[in-house]
Amino acid sequence: MHLVLFLIFGALCVGAAINLLAQKHPINSALSLIVVMGSLALLYLLLGAEFVAAIQIIVYAGAIMVLFVFVIMLLNAGEEEVLPHSSRVAVSLGVPGLILGLAIGIWVISKYAGLDRISIGGPRLLNGTESFGNPTSLAKLLFRDFLLPFEVTSVLILIAILGAVVLARREE
């Protein structure tokens, strides 16, 4: 049952991602990306991380993608032009297919060479008994075990905001 649901939601995610590449109008691509975010949230739910799923919807699908849609609306982005001698199928499936092939190849090689036992912890830091998706476990990881990366990421985002403000400012 779990596998069936995973396959359905995974197929939804991949289908929306391919649709994102295949659409000509950018607004349709943005909406496909929203469907991808939504299906990721569903996959988190399948893993038992309901808090992370809800936050994924609120932050990613509900705020970040709204900003993407704003940009597309405000810039009045038109439909994509297709060059006369190119094939849209090759363009939209070519690069992702290449990356997917590389990823599978690397995974197979690392499994057979025994290189896949490296990990930073995460769920294993919680003694493997508690579930890792609820707010308590997330808080322990974020604010206790990984506090420094969390604070550094905040500073990084602040730098990005400052950069955007400087770049977008009108010259007085």
E strand intervals along 56-132: none
Rounded least distance, CB 8 to other proteins, Å: 20
> Which is nearer to other proteins, 50 or 145 (by Cβ)?
50
Based on CB atoms, which residue is closest to other proteins, 13 or 34? Answer: 34
Q: Return the number of the residue (70 or 107) whose C-beta is nearest other proteins.
A: 70
Q: What length is written for the chain?
A: 172
Residues 6+ apart with CB under 8 A from 7: none
Least distance to other proteins from the beta carbon of 96, Å? 25
For the beta carbon of residue 30, count every other beta carbon within 10 angstroms: 20
Kindly report the number of other CB atoms within 10 A of residue 14's CB atom.
14
Q: Which is nearer to other proteins, 13 or 31 (CB)?
A: 31
To other proteins, the closest distance from the beta carbon of 113 in angstroms equals: 41
Place of tokens 């730098």: 159
In the structure encoding, which two tokens stand for residue 24, read together? 């000509």
**CA 106 – CA 53 distance, rounded (Å):** 29
Distance in Å, CB of 54 to other proteins, minimum: 4
Residues binding other proteins (CB under 8 A) = 27-28, 31, 34, 50-51, 54-55, 57-58, 61-63, 66-67, 69-70, 73-74, 135
